[in-house]
Amino acid sequence: MKLTLTAATIAALFAAGHASAQAYTSDGTAKGQSTTEVIEVGGDHMFMNIRTDYKSFEMEDSTNPMNQLSGPCFGVVEVRGGAVEGNGVCVLDGLEGDRVTLGWNARRRDPQGNIHGYWHISSGSGRWLQASGGGTFMSNVNPANGTATNTLRGAVTLR
């Protein structure tokens, strides 16, 4: 009888742990202001040191915990002969005071100059402590005034 009770208790705890995970579709946009330092190496080879301060993330699902995040994203992108490679991090604060860090990897630039790549949750505090997820992004920066719009697709899970 004791073994059955222990197994039932373990099963209940296991089920409760899974029930507390919440998954969200993370499709939306982030808007902010970007500054880019271009370092020419020569010919068709350059590095872009990028920092974008996002004022707000607006997700299609208003209950998504990424909704209303704000903070800086920064990193370096190398452009060589049309190929793009780079990475960086975003350190974002939510309205509730919790913080999440997102890693990003740039993989290509389209003919309009938009940078495309992948993002993922790296770490966080509070509700983001055991979060996971990621997806794709397309970053558009107006070179005339630095206005940035980042279109996100993906999913996150909070545990």
pLDDT of residue 47: 97
Structural domain boundaries in the chain:
22-158
Q: Which residue has the higher pLDDT, 14 or 32?
A: 32
Position 79 scores a pLDDT of: 95
Residue type, 3: L
Instruction: Give me the chain's average pLDDT, please.
Output: 90
Residue-wise pLDDT for 38-71, tens only, equals 999 999 999 999 999 999 999 999 999 999 999 9
Residues in CB range of 14: below 8 A, 6 or more apart = none
For 140, the 3-state DSSP assignment is: strand
Per residue in 89-130, pLDDT tens? Answer: 999 999 889 999 999 999 999 999 999 999 999 999 999 999
**Per-residue pLDDT at 157:** 97
Instruction: Report d(CA 127, CA 100) in Å as an integer.
Output: 9
The yes-or-no verdict on residue 148 having pLDDT over 90 is yes
CATH of domain 22-158: 2.40.350.10
For residue 82, the model assigns a pLDDT of: 84
Take residue 135 and report the two structure tokens written for it. 């997806």
- Smallest CA-to-CA distance from 57 within 88, 87, 29 is with 29
- Written as six digits, the tokens of 34 are 């970007």
